């Protein structure tokens, strides 16, 4: 066998091996099933006792935040950003519903959740439930929260929680999370693009 013929046989074997490897890889790939839309939900009450769920806000964008009224920094900062967004939306503000969901419902109700939120913006709706409803809401939004003993805090405890602000679309589908300290202008621009 000549050197030329040996090279031809070797290159042919390499080509067959490469085709075989590619065929095995292609056969092993299966298309991923489409992911169902992420539609968080809850069943929580306002201060007047009316129960709300995400279906009550269909047709509007919802800005959802989980927090508590004794929060020293994250909650008031975020509510200030939300208030700025609502003011800057002008006539389009009626297309967005800001929601504050209490992770400390018993104390927040006692201290006046509606009054706390009105100090930021009249459009912010405060919602709270019992322990089970609060747990279900946080699980639906994939939010962490927990009680932390703190002798220096009111009532001797504080709450840790995920600080994100969530945007839910008019169809109830989760659109995105704005990290803590996202400027109001950035939140506003994102919402205006979607309206």
Contact status, residue 134 vs residue 102, Cβ threshold 8 Å: yes
Per residue in 117-153, pLDDT tens?
A: 999 999 999 999 999 999 999 999 999 999 999 999 9
Q: Domain coordinates of the chain in residue numbers? A: 1-30, 44-194
pLDDT at 137: 97
Which fold is adopted by the domain 44-194?
A: Glutaredoxin (3.40.30)
pLDDT at 38: 86
Per residue in 15-29, pLDDT tens?
A: 666 666 666 666 666
Low-confidence residues of the chain: pLDDT under 70: 1-36
pLDDT at 13: 60
pLDDT at 117: 97
């Amino acid at each position: 066998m000549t050197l030329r013929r040996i090279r031809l046989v070797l290159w042919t074997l390499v080509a067959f091996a490469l085709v075989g490897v590619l065929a095995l890889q292609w056969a092993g790939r299966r298309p991923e099933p489409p992911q169902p839309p992420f539609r968080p939900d809850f069943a929580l009450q306002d201060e007047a006792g009316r129960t709300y769920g995400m279906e009550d806000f269909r047709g509007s964008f919802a800005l959802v935040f989980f927090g508590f009224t004794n929060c020293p920094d994250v909650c008031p900062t975020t509510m200030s950003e939300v208030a700025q967004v609502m003011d800057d939306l002008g006539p389009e503000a009626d297309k967005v519903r800001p929601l504050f969901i209490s992770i400390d419902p018993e104390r927040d109700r006692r201290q006046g959740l509606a009054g706390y939120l009105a100090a930021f913006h009249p459009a912010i709706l405060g919602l709270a439930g019992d322990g089970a409803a609060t747990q279900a809401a946080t699980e639906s939004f994939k939010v962490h929260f927990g009680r932390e003993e703190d002798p220096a805090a009111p009532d001797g405890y504080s709450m840790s929680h995920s600080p994100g602000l969530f945007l839910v679309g008019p169809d109830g589908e989760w659109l995105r999370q704005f990290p803590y300290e996202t400027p109001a202008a950035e939140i506003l621009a994102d919402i205006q693009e979607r309206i």
